[in-house]
Structure 1
Amino acid sequence: MDIRRALPADLDTVADIYGREAREGHATFDVEPRPATWWEEKLAATDDHFLVAEHQGRVVGYATSGAFRPKPAYRHTRESTVYVAPGHQGLGTGRALYDALLAGLADDGVHLVVAAVALPNPASLALHRACGFEEVGVMREVGRKLGRWVDLAWLQKVLG
């Protein structure tokens, strides 16, 4: 498996991975796939560390970061996200993506990385804990998707 910066040619596959989760899962609170322009803007953002995992020439997951909040005092805090395509989960793809993402963020002087995990999602919680995140709280019934209320666990990792 190769972890590398995302390229414009990767965006359709990345959008498919995310779109499936938007339509069928609860890992994102989006209910519709994001438009191509959103992915293009994400790729163009210089501080988002948009990475993909490629296996046998095919993109099988991605990781990115974004601003936690737009206020200046949060500039050293980033929110992270990792998505892995079905069939590639549990094989180390998420861990490889997270290791590369966190290293890049640390190199950029990011102090704290936060992640939100919709519950239940024991695999994602295990991935975050294995990467050194600690759970800092749960927001109960914060989102409604697929006919049910969804809790959201917040995790954080201090980088420096």
Structure 2
Amino acid sequence: MPSRWTEVQVRPGTEGDLAPLTELYNHYVRETAITFDTEPFTPERRLPWLRSYPEDGPHRLLVAHDGRKGTESRILGYATSSAFRPKPAYSTSVEVSVYLSPDAAGRGIGTLLYERLFEALATEDVHRAYAGIALPNEPSVRLHSRFGFRHIGTYEEVGRKFGRYWDVAWYERPLARPA
């Protein structure tokens, strides 16, 4: 890891992370088509999202931070595994995603977050992971390919943001069954 960060640590997200997580996500809302949300969130509006992730189970929120003590610690990114669809038969499938602070991209933090997320999911009754990637987004395509995701299809012009239509490529990965 870069020397300017003491040590990157990964842990479950907590309510104390709400403001920096909201700020990080809002960067992508305002500046990119990576998310199809179009209006920035307040921490209060984002709180139900954060509370939907328990520390265990198939739906998780993992946070990477720079490892410094106290208020100096800074969130570098996060990874989630969420319900793929709300109907009960989909319960063994999850949708995964990673969001990084812009200055943390390309430094292995997304890889670290996914390593920890997939380690945790290996203990759960989860059969498949899916990822939707708004195109173009080569760094995300490379990350997901590195973790064994394969492209299964593309929704063409499925979302409109910044006055244009965007495609979303869908990727799938089988997950290990718990022992």
Same fold by TM-score greater than 0.5: yes
Using the alignment, how far apart are the partners of 1:35 and 1:80 within structure 2? 23
Query: Could you tell me whether the CA contact under 8 Å between 1:17 and 1:85 is conserved in 2?
Result: yes
Q: Tell me the equivalent position of 2:90.
A: 74
| Structure 1 vs Structure 2 CA RMSD | 1.3
Q: Tell me the equivalent position of 2:150.
A: 134
1:49 alignment partner, one of 53, 56, 60:
60
Q: 1:36 to 1:62 in 2, by over 3 A?
A: same
Using the alignment, how far apart are the partners of 1:83 and 1:125 within structure 2? 13
How far does the alpha carbon of each residue in 1:37-85 deviate from its partner, in whole angstroms, 9 at most, with x for none? 4532233232421110011421010111211111111000001111001
Q: Tell me the equivalent position of 1:11.
A: 18
1:122 alignment partner, one of 111, 123, 138:
138
Q: Tell me the equivalent position of 2:36.
A: 29
Using the alignment, how far apart are the partners of 1:135 and 1:10 within structure 2? 33
Query: Could you tell me whether the CA contact under 8 Å between 1:42 and 1:50 is conserved in 2?
Result: no
Query: Could you tell me whether the CA contact under 8 Å between 1:63 and 1:83 is conserved in 2?
Result: yes
Alignment pair present for 1:103 and 2:119: yes
Letter in 2 for 1:100: R
Per-residue deviation, 1:20? 0.9
Once structures 1 and 2 are overlaid, which stretch shifts more, 116-125 or 30-39?
A: 30-39
Taking structure 2 as the reference length, the TM-score comes to 0.85
User: Max radius of gyration: which structure?
Assistant: 2
Q: 1:77 to 1:38 in 2, by over 3 A?
A: farther
Letter in 1 for 2:81: S
Q: Tell me the equivalent position of 2:5.
A: none
Find runs of 4+ consecutive structure 1 residues off by over 3 angstroms.
none
Structure 2 unaligned spans of 5+: 1-7
Structure 1 unaligned spans of 5+: none
Count matched residues.
160
Taking structure 1 as the reference length, the TM-score comes to 0.94
Q: Tell me the equivalent position of 1:143.
A: 159
Using the alignment, how far apart are the partners of 2:115 and 2:46 within structure 1? 22
